[in-house]
């Protein structure tokens, strides 16, 4: 697959007053799994994995494989998955995915989700991610497929 962005040093970390966003890695598998499984209905349709994700029978092992795949894609520059944490990094809250679009007129799709217990912060996270992408990434045309704001 083709790199999403050429000649750009992709950030591995982004911090705001409200969130810490860092590269999703296998070391986050347990926390990610707990977040996903505690929020199955809330997360349906909020990820690039499709409307059936997450499945109630998802296993920790499957989740670990998915995260390893995300890590590999990040290292190859194809797509970028980030874990979202509370400002003190104590609480795993969700994910941000920056991925190539199938639409040739769109540079990237950005998918954002927070676990159900943090859902009231989704619009704040989206606002902060939009600002980050606009100000620090060389992406001209982006879409947020699971956004209420389009």
Give the domains, in start order, of the chain with CATH numbers.
13-143 (3.40.630.30)
Whole-prediction pTM: 0.94
Summarised one tens digit per residue, pLDDT across range 61-77 is 999 999 999 999 999 99
- Using alpha carbons, list the distances in angstroms from residue 30 to 92, 94, 144, 148: 10, 12, 27, 29
Summarised one tens digit per residue, pLDDT across range 18-34 is 999 999 999 999 999 99
| Two tokens, residue 44 | 């349906």
Of 74, 81, 67, 82, whose CA–CA distance to 26 is shortest? 67
């Amino acid at each position: 697959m083709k790199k999403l962005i050429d000649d750009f040093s992709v950030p591995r970390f982004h911090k705001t007053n409200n969130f810490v966003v860092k590269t999703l890695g296998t070391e986050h598998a347990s926390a990610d799994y707990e977040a996903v499984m505690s929020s199955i209905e809330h997360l349906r349709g909020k990820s690039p994995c499709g409307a059936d994700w997450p499945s109630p029978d998802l296993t920790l092992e499957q989740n670990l494989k998915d995260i390893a795949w995300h890590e590999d894609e990040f290292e190859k520059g194809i797509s970028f998955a980030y874990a979202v944490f509370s400002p003190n990094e104590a609480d795993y809250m969700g994910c941000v995915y920056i991925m190539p679009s199938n639409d040739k007129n769109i540079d990237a799709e950005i998918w954002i989700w927070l676990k159900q217990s943090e859902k009231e912060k989704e619009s704040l996270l989206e606002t902060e991610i939009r600002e980050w992408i606009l100000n620090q990434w060389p992406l001209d045309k982006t879409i947020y497929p699971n956004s209420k704001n389009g």
